[in-house]
Structures are given as C-alpha cells and as structure tokens.
Structure 1
Amino acid sequence: MNLDTDIYKVNIVQSRISSFKNNLITVKAYNNNAELKTQDDSAHRPQMGAIYERYVKECFKSGAMDFDDLLLKTNELLFKHPDVLHKYQHRFQYVLVDEYQDTNHSQYLIVKALAALNENICVVGDDAQSIYSFRGANIRNILNFKSDYSDVKLIKLEQNYRSTKNIVNAANSVISKNKDQLDKEVWTSNDLGDRIKVNRAMTDSDEAVIVASNIMETKQTDQVTNNNFAILYRTNAQSRSMEEALRKRAVPYRIYGGLSFYQRKEVKDMMAYFRIASNPIDEEALRRIINYPKRGIGNSSIDRMTLAASEQEKTLWGIVENINFENTGLNAGSTAKVDNFAVLIKSFQVMVKEKDAFEVATYIAKQSGILREMQIDKTPEGISRYENLQELLNGINEFVNQENEKSEDQRNTSLAYYLEDIALLTDADKEVDDDGDHVSLMTIHQSKGLEFPYVYIVGLEENLFPSQMSMTSRADLEEERRLFYVALTRAEKRATLSYALTRYRWGNLIDCEPSRFIEEIDDKYLDANFINIKPAIKPIKKQSNTRYYKTNVPSRFNKSNDKKEITLKRSKPTFVPRNFKKINPNTNTRQYADHSYTEGMKVEHDRFGIGVICKLEGKGANKKISINFADLGEKTLLAKFAKLNILK
C-alpha cells in the first residue's frame, strides 16, 4: 500500500485492528463511524480504514482467522444465524465461566447469547481483581450480572486461605475505598501475622538497596531460601535498580514472565549505539544498529560491505566510514545512506571525547532516532519500551552523579567507563542458575494468581502507582486500587511496602509523593515505626491541580504545616542490615593507583565483590586484569578503570 512504516508501525496497526474486532467493529461499521476515523486522522493514520479492509480481505482469501476473529466471527455466526444459535443453546444447557471479571465485550455477548434460552449460568470471579482493562476486560460484566439475569443467587467465597489476618485486613481497608464493587468482607482464620512494614528511601536506588539488604537479612533471621521472596512493581522499567542491587549482593533472581533489564531489545539496541560510539570496530554492535531505526541500509548492502572488508582485510567500520572511496558495488543511493550513517556515528564519537556519559547517552538517544521511534508507539508494549529507555538513561545519570561524588583523581564519568562498569551486569544476565532458588521479580499484573511468603511492593508513589495515566478518571483510579489489592494479597506471611522521596525521570531528580494507597491502609495494620514518622513527612508541591482526585492525596503525609517544596540530594541508603559491613580502605585494604597488580592477588571490586586475579595482559593504558569473582566467575577489566581494593 506504499505507506510510511514510521507512522503505520505493524504493532500499532495490529493493536488498533484488534481493538476494533474486540468491540465488534467491522470494516463497514468503522467506515460509518466518524469518531473512529477522526481519531485515526488525528494520529496521522488516515489510511487505517483501508488497511483494516485490506487485511480482512487477505485473511478471507487465505482462509485464515486471527485470534480476535474467533470472537468476532462467533458473534456474527450466533446473531446472524438464529438456527445456529438455537442449536448451541440446546447443546449447552448449562454455562460455566471462570474469571468472569476479565471478560471483554465480545465474550460477554457470546456468553449472554448462549445462556439466554435456559438461563442456567454460573460465573466465578472477583471484581476486586479486575485489572486488565487495557486488554479489553470490562468490570461491568460482573458488576451487572444480577441485572442481566433473573433469579440470581450470589454465593460469596470470602475466606482467604493464603495470607495473615493483618495482610487480609489491610487489603480490605484499601479496596473498601472503591465505589464500583460487589459488597463483601474477606476474612481468614490464619495467624495475625506481622503488621505491614513501610520503608521510606531518599532515592529509587536507595529503595533497591533497602529491599535487597532486607531480603539478605530475612534469609538469615528466618532461615529461608530465595524462592520465598518476590519483588512486585508497577512498570517493567523499575526492575533495573532492583536487579542491580540484588546482583551486587550476589542474590540470584529471575524476571518472571519477561527478560532481565539489560536483555530487553530496546535496551540492547541503545547499548549497541553506546558501544559503537566508544569503540567503532565493535562489529556486533555495528551490525545491530546500522539499519535501526530503519535508514534504508538493507542486508544486501551490509553483505557487500562485509565482503569488501574481508577482501581488503579491514574492519566493517573501516569500510563504512570511507564508503565514498571504497569499491563495494553499492549504488549511489545506498552509498549516500551509509555515508549519512557514518557521519552520525562520527558525531557521537566526538561527543564521547568531550562530554560525560549521560550527556552523550541523551544526545545519542535523540539523534539516532530511537527516542522518536519509541514516542510514536502508544500501545501498552510501546509505552513499556519507552519507559525502559527512560530508565536506562536514568541509570546512566545516576552513574555520573555517583562518580562526581568521588575525588577528582578517582572520578571517571566517561561513557567508556560506564560501559565497562555495566559489562559484568550484562554478562551476568546471560548466566543461568539451574538450582531454581531465585528471588522473583515481576510486574503486579504478572503476579496475579501467584503467592509468596515474603512480598515487597516497591515504587509506591503518586504518578507511578497509581500511574499518571489513571489520574483522569475514577474508573481508572479504582482499577489501580484493585491492582494494589492484588499485589498486597500475593503475600502469605509478610508484606513490605516502599517508596522513594526522589526518583530520576529523564535525567532529572524529581520530588515524589507517597502513594495514596499507603494512606488508605488503616493505621492498626501498619508497623508502628512507620506511624511514628508520619508527622515528619512533608507534602510535596503539586505539579498540577487538574488531575482527577489530586486534592485527595494522602492526609497521612500532610500533617506538617510546612508547605515548602522538598529538594533532596542523593543520600546514602537509609537502611543497612546488621550483618552488612563495609570494608574500610584505611585499615585492611589499599588501592593501587599505579595498577601494580599480580596474579593470585585477592581484590575487591566496589560492585562485583571479592575475587582473585588469575591473569594479566597488556601494558600501560591497555593493561587488562582477569579476575575470578566468587559469585560471577571470571571477568576481565581494564586496569586503569578497575579501581580495585587490594585485600591483605
């Protein structure tokens, strides 16, 4: 159809068509719906209707149906052919539906049609766990069940067999704030259990340190294994700081239902740009990004340049940067595209020499086109990828700030040092521990149906949880509250909540407000230590007065009359476990500025722990040290950047 693929992205178009079908909007219905067409025109996709029509025709010609067609076509079959409906109404005289709170409009109509004749229908569901509206689920299906059918009997399954009394009652006190719900009072015969603990951190990194350290301490005090613990967060991007804190402490973990942060495609793409800017002969990185975002450099062009590099015994970058003078067989148009790419990369290489890692990374994210690519996609998956990119830049800015706190002779804010610093983390992501004993990390949506003895719910801040997008309507805010209810009730024995007073967003350290959901928990279910610090928590200046329910921000945090905006600098973690001892370089360690390391020497890296030097290579600025770390295995570092403590 000769459409701009930067605007008509496959995943966006696919998501849009899926939405049409789930709402029973056929091609004809779309063409007669001025509102839908206006929406697509506003999104600069006026050909959406034509794409939809072409797609439907191609599926028909191929005798194929996609998943959404299974529901759409079933509805059409039942409603356009009464004889077919009559047949199946007699065949299925009793209808049973599980997880009814998660049904969408199309499923609702199919169930209603099948049960219309006999009205022998039983549905099972929990309205308090309806959390999938972004997939089309409609909580009204379960809320309106009594009005949809006559002679309805409601059986309340209110006993909770999983959690302690304090956890169940705390969850009840929060969900009771929702207006749209079925009246019930969940209870348990389990022990009273611990009160809900709330940790306050200065920054999101400190929050991760608190959680990781608390897990280590609890493992010792309660004599439990890693698989008893779960860390739940609102967005995928939040896993980065948690992963780094756990990895630094050699606590094995797994990302449930997803990839670890540095293995996500958008992160690997961005890291490839950073690598090629610092080291242009990195062929793996070059191949990954030479045509991403798409710039018209196809596989045939890359193959020809690779062949030329092999014949001339040059690197692929050597051909790319001199493409106008190389005999590659590329036509003028392809040569110009490669040359434009080379100019772009050279501009990054200049930045690397002049600016710190965060400035370079931000520049690359913008100039490469990746940031623009991410901003276009408004699907839930696209938003998640955009948040991951934001979190990557946040981590780089945090790295720069940490380096700037060091003395001048110890400071290194370069992108090259960041890449080396992060290299062991990305390597560790590839290592698989098959013993099955891991801390589980996951989004709250992925946690539904699971349970763990110890649960940490992190990032409990306004505009994060509840999310900023939920602030415009009561229905959205109530779904966020249901999501918190789901998170809290994953805990069997102990639930710990945490929030940060500041968090990085696109390189800026912003002030954060504690989530209203903490306020909504009745005091008697909260740890007394948290209740005692409530008066010390000052409100943070509102950024907007137009958000829904903004005036209903927690009163628990507003007891001080001091209305000044909080401005916070990065601090040390506010919690250190009793068994966590920091090595003092003035007593039992020394750091060699001249890099006079020897094989067999025992050393400590500030992030990767204790290891033994097993090999030395090179001289001067290129000297490399291979170290066998106790928890990560053998890794190689540049001596000039290693900053190792020599252990006596």
Structure 2
Amino acid sequence: MGDSEHGNRLSEGLDPEQREAVHAPRGPVCVLAGAGTGKTRTITRRIAHLVNNGHVAAGQVLAVTFTARAAGEMRTRLRALGVQGAQARTFHAAALRQLRYFWPRVVGDAPWELLDGKLRLVGQAAQRAGAPTDRESLRDFASEIEWAKASLITPDDYGTATAKIGREIPGPAEQVSAVYSGYEALKTRARSMDFDDLLLHTAAVLEEHHDVAGEFRERYRCFVVDEYQDVTPLQQRVLDAWLGNRDDLTVVGDANQTIYSFAGASPRPLLDFSKRFPEAVVVRLERDYRSTPQVVALANKVIGAARGRPAGSRLQLIGQRPDGPQPHFAEFDDENAEARAVVRRIRKLLDAGVSASEVAVLYRVNAQSEVYEQALTEAEIPYQVRGGERFFHRPEVRQAMHVLRSNGELEIGANTLPDVVRKLLSTIGLTDEPPTGGAMREKWESLLALVELAEEFAAAVEDADLPRFVGELVLRAEAQHPPTVEGVTLASLHAAKGLEWDAVFLVGLTEGTLPIQHVLSDASGGSEGIEEERRLFYVGVTRAREHLWLSWALTRSAGGGGRPRRRSRFLYGLVPDDHPAALPAKGTVAGASSLRRDAAKPECRTCAGPLIGSVAVKLGRCASCPSDVDEQLLGRLKTWRADRAKQLKVPAYVVFTDATLMAIAEQRPTTVAALVGISGIGASKLDKYGSDVLDLVHAGGSDGGSSSLIRASEDQLE
C-alpha cells in the first residue's frame, strides 16, 4: 500500500476536527476531547500518520494512559493500522520497564522488590507511631501516603501542605506524618519499592544521570498521553523527565471528567498546555458518537451548571446519533421500591433484546449495591459487581455477620431488632454520625446497610429475632452467586469511568450521597468538592448510549421509615417542570410523605386513603387498616413455597417474599389480572408460579384454565 493510499485510509471516517488532530504537524498538540468523541481513534490514527509519514519510527513512540485495559486497546488499534513496535503502556508499567533496564547501571545491585501492597509495612509504622492499627485506619493511612507521594509532598512537609489546602486527613497531621515517615524508612530498609516509587525513581534517574537520560531520549522521541486531565504532579514530573527540552508531545483529555482530585489528579496541566507551549495546536472534539441527542442534551445541562469552569473545559457536546428515548426520571418512597422498579425496567430491556452485558446500574458508594444485588437475584437476572466485592463478600460485612451470629442468644426484650443490631455493630465501627470519608466511611455505609436490612426484616416478619435475621442474611449471601460472564454490571461511578453501555441506571441520586455527605460538610473545600461530584455525575450520564434512567428514594427503609432525604441538587433544572417527579422540589421537605408524585397513587382497598411505603403498596392496605388474611390459604402458600424452593435449590424468598404471600392471602386473586396487580409479581414470576398460586387460591382448581390465562396475558404485562 502506497503512502498516499495509506494516508487516505487513515483519514477515512474522520470528522473535520479529528482529521485536524491526526494531521497536525509534529510537535505539541492538545486535543480537548469530550465524552464519546472518538479520542482513542483520533490519537491512534495520529500515531499512525506520524509513523507513515516518516516523522518518527514506530519504536520511538511511547503512549501512556491510566489503565492496562486502555493501553491494551490502544496497542490493538495500532496493530490494526499497521503500526508495529510502538509502546502503549500505563505510567507505572512504562516506569517499571525503564527501571529494570537502567537499574544495574545506576544502582549496581539486584533490583529492589516491588511490594504487592502497603498495609503490612503501614501497620508496622502505625504501631511504632502509636496510631490506630485497625484495617480501615491502615487503608486510610495507605491512601494518604499515596496521595502525598503523587502530590510530591514529603513526610516533613505533610502537615504544612495539608493545612494550606484544608485537606481532610485521617488523623492528626503529626501522627499521619510519623506513619508516612516510618513506612518510608521500613520500606527502604527492606530494599523494597511501592508503585509510587516506580515513578519517583524513574524521574530521579533521568534527572540525575545525564548519560541515562540521553540514552532514553535517543530511544523515545514522540510521546502521547491519554486522559491527561487525570495526571498527578508526580506523573507530570516523570513526563517532564522523559521529554527533557523537547516538545514532541500530544496530550488528550477532558477537564469535565476530572474525578480523581482526591488522589492528587489535576486538570491544570491540560488547561495550561497552551501557556507552556504557545505554539501548540489545540483541537476541540465535541461531536459525540456514543450517545443519543437526548442523552447528550442532558449531559450538557449537567456540566453547563458547573461553577467556575475554565475556558479549556467548556466543551459543548453535539449528538451525532439518531434520536432515542428521553431520559427517565423517577422518585420512590424507599430504596427497595427504587431497586424493584429498576429491575422491572431491566427485565423489559432484556425482553426487548438488549444484552444483559449492555446494562449497568451505577451508584456513588459501594454499599448501595446490596439492594440491587438482592433485587436482581430475586428476578433471576445475572449480574457482576465491577470494581468492588459483592456486598456479602466485603470484610466488614463478614465481620458484622460473625458478631451477629456470635450473639444469637441475645434477648431482644423491650428493644426492637434494628436497635439490637445497631448496638452490636457499634462495637465494630457503626457510629451515630458517619465518618468524613475514606475506608472508614465505606465500612460505615456497609454496616448501616445491615441495620436497614434489619428494619425491613422486622417490618415483614412477626416476632423477628436475631437468629432469624442472621438466617435471612445467610440465605441472602448464599443466593447472590450469579454467573459473571454475561450479566448486568453493578459499579460505582468511579469504577465506570472509561466504560459505556446501551442502558445506564443512575440510582440513589440524593443529597448526602451525590454529592457525598463529607463534601457537603467540608467548610474549607466544599465548593471544589461539590464541583468534582458534579463531574462524577456527568461521567455517569455520559456512559449511556441510548437508555438513561435517573432515580432516587425519599427514605432508606421500607414504609417510609428512616431519615427523610432530598433529591440531589444536580437534578434541579434537569427534571422537566411538568414531570411528576418535579413536584416534590416545590415542597419544603423532600422526604415528607405528604409530598406525592403521582395523582394515580395506589389507594387502600379498605379506607381508600393513599398507600405510603412499599409494604403498604404490596398489601394493598394501610398499616392501620385491619388485615383480612385467609390463614388457611396463607398456610397452603407457605407449604407450596417451601416445596418449590427445595426443588429449585434456592432460598424461599427467591420464590416469593413473606409480604407477597401475605398480599396474596389477603387479596385472594382469582384471575391473572388480579394476580399481576400485586406488587412484585411480574411476567417472570407469573410464568413460573402463576398457575400454582391461582390453583391454591381456588383450592384445587384446574391447571389448564389458569395456564391458558397466563399465556394469553403475558404480552399485556409491563
């Protein structure tokens, strides 16, 4: 293939801005690339163009990004373009390769061992410094050391530096500094390095050994940095050492997607690129090929409301795809109702042909995953948790279950089950007020989720006690082992960065969750923190190609219990004024049960009053209205459920929950329409169990009649 023909192929399918970036002359180039604008295609074509036109040999190119997955994708695309030998690696992988090569010449002895993790040495340093040594504190100390090293802050400077910026720190500054200093001393004595040292040593070698720097710069002449908005001062120092006094550098980034400031990342090098290189070519990519115009319009509104946006971040995405559905907004009484509604919508998407792997549920904190793990399990929809352990696999949850199980003989007495659970979990870290952040906050969120499960269990099960609750937790833990190859993705917003799906559900959008509570309570840096939370929300919105769902719940617990919540400030201006979900914003307390969203709110079948809470909706009556349960029918239903659960080898609640059986026994549905009118009975449950349930209601009626009704009505269900 000739150069001209090859050059034409590299320009195929590019829009004018992408083509400008690809064909920019050798030298400094800054590509401001919005979400979904084809940045990877653009930079790999640029590398191929430079190689094809003889500006640089393939082996002289070093492209760096922030994840091994992104580096792998870049290498694959370069090979497909005929570029063999160009290096595409993460910062740390590139530094490790260079250190291994230069170490014998610079140090002279065997290479130091690379630590797999910091916690062991951090624990020793914490013990010597008289600091806390529990697992969560050590994780917070380790994270703080990583931030300090990424920010080029030494142990001696730590206290002054953190005070100057008002940073929240995991203990007294003197104590953290002592742990940091002790960790560094222990590590050096053991002749070991951590991942941050890979970058520090690489920069030092190139800065202090001119012969090594000369050899390296002769080897690599062209540099490309992806996700440049996430660069830390330490990574920038390494990049400067690589470059020397040269300027053959292409950077690509989007300041609107800076979401790692807590780890030391800053968009400033991206935004100041033109100041450092006045002759740089700057190209703006704003044509969004990922998302529908409806999703793009919402994303622009989200980021357009940001305060203090610097000029380089004011990208306005322009949707290039055909029209799609409008984003869906929904408000619910409690988290369980929200999760069930999300799963019902997911089932509809799957039935319509959307692949489960093209659906994601995204949340702000990992503890939010449990209610979705449970709802997906009950609906028999496979899922996988990305970037974190499944809820019942988390160390703090396993520890909590051990504490609860060990106190199984404890009498409830005059207390409620939730009170007893809260008291027991307070011995392992559950406090009345949440910690400010970090690993302690994550643990607190998980422990609080267990208390909320106790509240739900106590509301649904008469005479609920600790052993029964522990048994329920064990059953839930055993049930949540779905296949992970093809399934719905559950992920935090941070873990979703760089990914995309056909359908995205952004859930739990309330004040104190998004934006996170410790940002709201931070008097010193709250404004900056809130804007980073807004960017995180923007990242979540831009993960969706076509279907976008945004939802929130007014309380945590079923029945409207718990502290009322207010929907996230980031939703104001997004929810249409005439949308039912916009109505609560006009009230005074978003969590108040008097604020209703829908004129067609379900009514009590006894007193015709509004039903408040998921349990009341399921039963079809107010909690204060008398139950007219058919005890014999309820007994038959429980016996049948136990048999089916045994046959299917699943916990009984996976077939039907106690509340659903109670609703059936109270309402005694005799038709398919009446049966599916009960909350929690959709197409899947109807198909599997509908015939049996109607037979039990009819006390032995014909199978054939019920089954035919079920089959005829399936296409009428939601």
TM bin, normalised by shorter chain, reads 0.5 to 0.7
Q: Name structure 2 gaps, 5 residues minimum.
A: 1-126, 592-596, 598-609, 620-626, 658-683, 686-695, 701-718
Q: Does 1:180 align with 2:306?
A: no
What is the rounded CA distance, in whole Å, between the counterparts of 2:652 and 2:628 in structure 1?
A: 11
Q: Does 1:520 align with 2:573?
A: yes
Among candidates 11, 16, 20, match of residue 139 of structure 2:
11
Q: Does 1:591 align with 2:717?
A: no
| Amino acid in structure 2 at the alignment position of 1:487 | G
Change over 3 Å in CA distance of 1:126–1:585 after alignment to 2: farther
Q: Does 1:433 align with 2:562?
A: no
Change over 3 Å in CA distance of 1:150–1:385 after alignment to 2: same
| Amino acid in structure 1 at the alignment position of 2:490 | L
Q: Does the Cα contact within 8 Å between 1:12 and 1:379 map onto a contact in 2?
A: no
What is the rounded CA distance, in whole Å, between the counterparts of 1:455 and 1:204 in structure 2?
A: 18
Q: Does 1:445 align with 2:494?
A: yes
Query: Quick one: higher RCO (CA 8 Å, sep 6+), 1 or 2?
Result: 1
Change over 3 Å in CA distance of 1:82–1:31 after alignment to 2: farther
What is the rounded CA distance, in whole Å, between the counterparts of 1:645 and 1:242 in structure 2?
A: 31
Q: Does 1:490 align with 2:546?
A: no
Which whole-Å deviations, capped at 9, do the CAs of 1:197-238 have from their partners, x for residues lacking one? 101101111111111122223333x23342232111111111
Change over 3 Å in CA distance of 1:448–1:28 after alignment to 2: closer
Q: Does 1:402 align with 2:528?
A: no
Q: Does 1:421 align with 2:472?
A: yes
Q: CA shift at 1:598, angstroms?
A: 12
Q: CA shift at 1:609, angstroms?
A: 0.6
| Amino acid in structure 1 at the alignment position of 2:515 | P
1:253 aligned residue: 383
2:400 aligned residue: 270
| Amino acid in structure 2 at the alignment position of 1:263 | H
What is the rounded CA distance, in whole Å, between the counterparts of 2:637 and 2:504 in structure 1?
A: 46
2:430 aligned residue: 371
2:17 aligned residue: none
Q: Does the Cα contact within 8 Å between 1:501 and 1:513 map onto a contact in 2?
A: yes
Q: Does the Cα contact within 8 Å between 1:459 and 1:499 map onto a contact in 2?
A: yes
Change over 3 Å in CA distance of 1:95–1:106 after alignment to 2: same
Q: Does the Cα contact within 8 Å between 1:231 and 1:455 map onto a contact in 2?
A: yes
1:120 aligned residue: 248
Q: Does the Cα contact within 8 Å between 1:444 and 1:486 map onto a contact in 2?
A: yes
Matches within 5 A, 1:220-239: 220=351, 222-239=352-369
What is the rounded CA distance, in whole Å, between the counterparts of 2:168 and 2:574 in structure 1?
A: 42
Matches within 5 A, 1:156-175: 156-175=284-303
What is the rounded CA distance, in whole Å, between the counterparts of 2:540 and 2:506 in structure 1?
A: 7
Change over 3 Å in CA distance of 1:29–1:511 after alignment to 2: closer
Q: CA shift at 1:369, angstroms?
A: 3.7
Change over 3 Å in CA distance of 1:588–1:273 after alignment to 2: closer
| Amino acid in structure 2 at the alignment position of 1:381 | A
Q: CA shift at 1:540, angstroms?
A: 3.6
Q: Does the Cα contact within 8 Å between 1:172 and 1:186 map onto a contact in 2?
A: yes
2:440 aligned residue: 382
2:223 aligned residue: 95
1:499 aligned residue: 552
| Amino acid in structure 1 at the alignment position of 2:473 | I
Matches within 5 A, 1:535-614: 535=583, 537-541=585-589, 570-572=613-615, 590-592=633-635, 607-609=653-655
Among candidates 273, 289, 292, match of residue 145 of structure 1:
273
- Scaled by the length of structure 2, the TM-score of the pair is 0.62
Q: Does 1:66 align with 2:109?
A: no
| Amino acid in structure 2 at the alignment position of 1:275 | R
Q: CA shift at 1:414, angstroms?
A: 1.2
Change over 3 Å in CA distance of 1:540–1:416 after alignment to 2: farther
Change over 3 Å in CA distance of 1:432–1:271 after alignment to 2: same
Q: Name structure 1 gaps, 5 residues minimum.
A: 279-348, 404-410, 544-556, 558-566, 577-583, 612-630, 633-643
| Amino acid in structure 1 at the alignment position of 2:448 | Q
Which whole-Å deviations, capped at 9, do the CAs of 1:131-163 have from their partners, x for residues lacking one? 111222112222222222221211122222221
Look up the SS of the partner of 1:275 in the other structure. helix
- Scaled by the length of structure 1, the TM-score of the pair is 0.68
Deviates more, 1:259-268 or 1:92-101: 92-101
Look up the SS of the partner of 2:318 in the other structure. coil
Which whole-Å deviations, capped at 9, do the CAs of 1:605-639 have from their partners, x for residues lacking one? 8722169xxxxxxxxxxxxxxxxxxx99xxxxxxx
Which whole-Å deviations, capped at 9, do the CAs of 1:60-97 have from their partners, x for residues lacking one? 33322111112233344444556655664555433211
Q: CA shift at 1:464, angstroms?
A: 1.2
Among candidates 444, 452, 477, match of residue 530 of structure 2:
477
What is the rounded CA distance, in whole Å, between the counterparts of 2:586 and 2:652 in structure 1?
A: 34
Q: CA shift at 1:261, angstroms?
A: 1.1
Q: Does the Cα contact within 8 Å between 1:602 and 1:610 map onto a contact in 2?
A: no
Deviates more, 1:133-142 or 1:438-447: 133-142
Look up the SS of the partner of 1:509 in the other structure. coil
Among candidates 53, 57, 62, match of residue 185 of structure 2:
57
What is the rounded CA distance, in whole Å, between the counterparts of 1:41 and 1:226 in structure 2?
A: 40
What is the rounded CA distance, in whole Å, between the counterparts of 2:425 and 2:645 in structure 1?
A: 39
What is the rounded CA distance, in whole Å, between the counterparts of 1:589 and 1:42 in structure 2?
A: 58
Q: Does the Cα contact within 8 Å between 2:225 and 2:252 map onto a contact in 1?
A: yes
Q: Does the Cα contact within 8 Å between 2:338 and 2:551 map onto a contact in 1?
A: yes
Q: Does 1:20 align with 2:148?
A: yes
Among candidates 582, 594, 597, match of residue 534 of structure 1:
582
Change over 3 Å in CA distance of 1:503–1:18 after alignment to 2: same
Q: Does the Cα contact within 8 Å between 1:588 and 1:647 map onto a contact in 2?
A: no
Identity %, equivalent residues: 27
Q: Does the Cα contact within 8 Å between 2:329 and 2:575 map onto a contact in 1?
A: no
Q: CA shift at 1:537, angstroms?
A: 4.3
| Amino acid in structure 2 at the alignment position of 1:495 | L
Change over 3 Å in CA distance of 1:510–1:219 after alignment to 2: same
Q: Does the Cα contact within 8 Å between 1:130 and 1:139 map onto a contact in 2?
A: yes
What is the rounded CA distance, in whole Å, between the counterparts of 1:41 and 1:480 in structure 2?
A: 19
Among candidates 327, 334, 337, match of residue 206 of structure 1:
337
What is the rounded CA distance, in whole Å, between the counterparts of 1:374 and 1:87 in structure 2?
A: 56
Look up the SS of the partner of 1:211 in the other structure. helix
| Amino acid in structure 2 at the alignment position of 1:66 | D
Change over 3 Å in CA distance of 1:372–1:157 after alignment to 2: same
Change over 3 Å in CA distance of 1:90–1:351 after alignment to 2: same
Change over 3 Å in CA distance of 1:105–1:646 after alignment to 2: farther
| Amino acid in structure 2 at the alignment position of 1:185 | Q
Change over 3 Å in CA distance of 1:480–1:595 after alignment to 2: closer
What is the rounded CA distance, in whole Å, between the counterparts of 1:456 and 1:257 in structure 2?
A: 17
What is the rounded CA distance, in whole Å, between the counterparts of 2:566 and 2:611 in structure 1?
A: 13
Matches within 5 A, 1:72-111: 72-80=200-208, 88-89=216-217, 91-111=219-239
Q: CA shift at 1:442, angstroms?
A: 0.8
Q: CA shift at 1:600, angstroms?
A: 6.3
What is the rounded CA distance, in whole Å, between the counterparts of 1:354 and 1:575 in structure 2?
A: 29
Q: Does the Cα contact within 8 Å between 1:128 and 1:175 map onto a contact in 2?
A: yes
Q: Does the Cα contact within 8 Å between 1:459 and 1:500 map onto a contact in 2?
A: yes
| Amino acid in structure 2 at the alignment position of 1:159 | R
Count of aligned positions: 501
Matches within 5 A, 1:273-292: 273-278=403-408
Change over 3 Å in CA distance of 1:58–1:277 after alignment to 2: closer
